[in-house]
A = this chain, B = another copy of it.
Amino acid sequence: MTGWRYADPMNPVTDFASFHAIIPAGGAGTRLWPFSREAKPKFLLDLTGSGRSLIQQTWDRLEPLIGAGNIHVVTGPAHAEAISAQLPGLVHLIVEPSPRDSMPAIGLAAALIEREFPGAVIGSFAADHVISDTAQFAIDVAQAVQVARTGKVCTIGIRPTEASTAFGYIEAGNPLSVDGAPAAVEVARFVEKPDQQTASRYLASKTFAWNAGMFISSAEVLLGHLAELRPALYDGLTAIAHVWDTDDRERVLDDRWPTLERVAIDHAIAEPVADSGGVAMVPGLFDWSDLGDFAALSDLSKTPDDVVFLDADGLVIAPKGKAVSVIGISGVVVIDTGDALLVTTTEHSQRVKELPAAWKERGREDLI
């Protein structure tokens, strides 16, 4: 690949017929503590001040394209109620008994969708990412759907804006010729989170994208790969899907779910299938952030009226009306939730994930 090719925005293909979106909604988001808590994880929070939580924003991107009936959210028992409350239009809420990483969650949704909507194309989208250019998002997803219809697994690669070591990378291969997906390329390989030097090389090469966990394929193709690559997991998920709409659901879930392999879809399917040439990529030309830590949030935030900075800049989140003054700290991160206060800098924001454990050790379960 010799740089990013652009889809024709004057003539976009947006054929979402029989396309279903899967939104795995898990993950504690401890790097955003004390803003995110176990009971109120990142995807339930309005982190951008838009008035909508991240999962609501995810819904808002997808629902106009494919309709409420084609959206499937997978979550744990602790958050099912809050999700239903935030997404009153949600029809398909799949509650997994316990978190077993992304492959069982997406695989179960795929099996259920394939049973109810045979021939469906499915795509997975994180519940807690931020994308504001929804028009471009639609164009790029539509291209990925076209690619998926050719039997490939298609990912949407995020254009790197910096030499980040926080993401896995996708190396682009040769262009493909897929009708309605002019931007699609082969995927040469997936690579794990690199060290700083490697990340800089990837960024300079212009042939690597960030892996944001967006995988689009026909349900049948995905389940076929799973059957071949992870037969035990495939069997377990199929057995559960088989009795999903019967009185046996709970018994079979209790029986099989705890035995399923904990594995990410990247490892279970994307990497091995890419090695055999079965994965394509559409470059995502929309803006994107995973809001992985306060440094990422800082990039998106505006300084509220209740903040005075003297020789300072950064991120301040505090109760409305609270007067926050910061002097002499560049890239400051101040998160005041009333019961807890975090003060750090964007440079140290990755270490925030150590805090819930530190407070638990002090007996402050109320803060977790």
Contacts and interface: CB of A to CB of B under 8 A. Distances in A.
Interface of A: 34, 305, 308, 310-311, 318, 321-329, 332, 334, 336, 338-345, 347-349, 351-352, 354-355, 358-359, 362, 364, 367
B325 A358 contact: yes
22 contacts: A305-B362, A308-B355, A308-B358, A308-B362, A310-B354, A310-B358, A311-B348, A322-B339, A322-B341, A323-B359, A323-B367, A325-B341, A325-B342, A325-B359, A326-B344, A327-B342, A327-B345, A327-B351, A327-B352, A327-B355, A328-B348, A329-B343
What is the predominant secondary structure among interface residues of chain A facing chain B? mixed
Given A351-B310, A358-B310, A334 B323 contact: no
Nearest to A345: B328
Contacts of A328: 344-345, 347-348, 351
A344 B341 CA distance: 14
A340 B339 CA distance: 15
Nearest to A324: B341
Nearest to A336: B341
Contacts of A343: 324-327, 329, 332, 334, 343
A325 B310 contact: no
B336 A336 contact: yes
A84 B342 CA distance: 39
Given A325-B344, A328-B351, A336-B341, 13 more contacts: A34-B325, A310-B354, A322-B338, A323-B341, A323-B364, A324-B340, A324-B343, A325-B358, A326-B344, A328-B345, A329-B329, A329-B345, A332-B343
Contacts of A358: 308, 310, 325
A21 to B, nearest CB: 37
A260 to B, nearest CB: 36
Contacts of A311: 348, 351
